[in-house]
Amino acid sequence: MTSLATIKKNGGLANKNTGSNFPSLSWFDDFTLNDFPSLFSSNFNTGISLPKVNIKEVADTFIVEMAVPGMKKTDFDINLDNQILSISAEVKEEHKDDDEGYSRREFGYSSFKRSFTLPDSVDDSKINANYNEGILNIHLPKREEAKRKPSRTIKIS
């Protein structure tokens, strides 16, 4: 078991010569926020942070894979503006329960936006996307002239 803060074994409530009739909390005097760096440096973000992205290049297309589990395909907004592909999502949740005089209401909001500058080799008229089992896939087909040509042997004349 790990300890979160170091407390002296003899540190309980102790009287110090402070000229006061109140006991000193010596264990609290030794307590610093440095003992809890992960707790107080956390941003307490419970929404969606920037999702992880894989970008693969194959012979005739680029494939963008984004891990965004728990969402619906209607939550996404994918836009292309001047060779900049933007992927964003917004989820709002609200739950309300009224039972025997007690009321409970919970709500949440999560959003993200990722943008990518596309190379000139992408044929933007053929871009398509699908969402399946928590993975958003965007296929960015290459222009015909940018596709990798198979190797061939050139004869010398």
Non-local CB neighbours of 61 within 8 Å, separated by 6+ positions: 139, 140, 141, 142
Give the model confidence (pLDDT) of 70-128 as tens digits: 889 999 999 999 999 999 998 888 877 777 777 777 878 788 999 999 999 999 999 99
Q: What is the mean pLDDT of the chain?
A: 76
Domain boundaries, given as residue ranges, for the chain? 1-42, 53-146
Predicted local confidence at residue 76, as pLDDT: 93
> Which among 135, 90, 136, 129 is positioned nearest to 113, based on CA atoms?
90
Exposure string (b/e) for 29-44, b if CB count within 10 Å is 16 or more? eeeeeeeeeeeeeeee
Q: Rounded to two decimals, what is the model's pTM?
A: 0.59
Give the model confidence (pLDDT) of 36-77 as tens digits: 444 444 444 444 578 899 999 988 999 999 999 988 999 999
According to the CATH classification, is domain 53-146 in 1.10.3720.10?
no
- Cβ pair 64, 78 in contact under 8 A: no
Task: Count how many Cα atoms sit within 13 Å of the Cα of residue 65 in the half-sphere of its side chain.
Answer: 8
